[in-house]
């Protein structure tokens, strides 16, 4: 997450190592920001992520008042890639951020980087 051009927080998925499906970095950013940023700083923040926020993370982002989201690959793209690898469907619908939090500023997908995220998804072992 950047605030005034300065990286203030970075994280990664912890689902596989903890077994906790709620340990998304986007959710951790929301939690961290409430403790460490003022409401104005949260509103001015930009969150960059490789994949579009899931509904849980989009809601958390909106509830704490974080600013703009920039993502590389859409939830729909990631869902298609994982299905093609034989993965188990997510128990949560792959909704666009705008369907969950319609007032957030959102940019994505970032076409020049989508193939890099697809390769990362393909390297993961599909869950069965």
Q: What pLDDT shows up at residue 35?
A: 96
Is pLDDT at 76 greater than 50 in this prediction?
Answer: yes
| Model pLDDT for residues 31-54, shown as the tens digit of each residue | 999 999 999 999 999 999 999 999
Q: What is the mean pLDDT of residues 112-119?
A: 96
Please give the residue that has the higher pLDDT: either 50 or 9.
50
Domains of the chain, start order: 2-123 (3.40.140.10)
| Exposed / middle / buried, residue 17 (Cβ in 10 Å: 0-12, 13-18, 19+) | exposed
Confidence of residue 9 (pLDDT cuts 50, 70, 90): confident
Of 68, 33, 74, give the one whose Cα is nearest residue 47.
68
| Model pLDDT for residues 89-112, shown as the tens digit of each residue | 889 999 999 999 999 999 999 999
Q: What is the CA radius of gyration of the chain?
A: 14
DSSP helix/strand/coil, 127 = coil
Residue 67, both tokens: 């600013």
pTM to 2 decimal places: 0.87
Whole-Å CA distances, 73 to 33, 42, 43, 104: 24, 23, 23, 17
Percent above pLDDT 70 for the chain? 94
Question: What is the SS3 string spanning 21-86?
Answer: CCCCHHHHHHHHHHHHCCHHHHHHCEEEEEECCCHHHHHHHHHHCCCEEEEEECHHHHHHHHHHCC
Residue 125, both tokens: 């072992």
């Amino acid at each position: 997450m950047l605030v005034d051009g300065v990286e203030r927080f970075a994280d990664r998925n912890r689902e596989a190592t903890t077994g906790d499906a709620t340990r998304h970095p986007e959710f951790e950013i929301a939690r961290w920001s409430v403790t460490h940023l003022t409401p104005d700083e949260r509103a001015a923040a930009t969150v960059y992520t490789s994949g579009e926020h899931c509904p849980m993370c989009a809601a958390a982002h909106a509830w704490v008042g974080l600013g703009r989201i920039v993502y590389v690959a859409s939830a729909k793209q990631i869902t298609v890639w994982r299905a093609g690898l034989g993965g188990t469907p997510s128990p949560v619908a792959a909704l666009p951020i705008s369907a969950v939090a319609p007032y957030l500023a959102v940019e994505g997908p970032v076409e020049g980087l989508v193939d890099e995220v697809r390769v990362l998804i393909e390297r993961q072992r599909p869950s069965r």
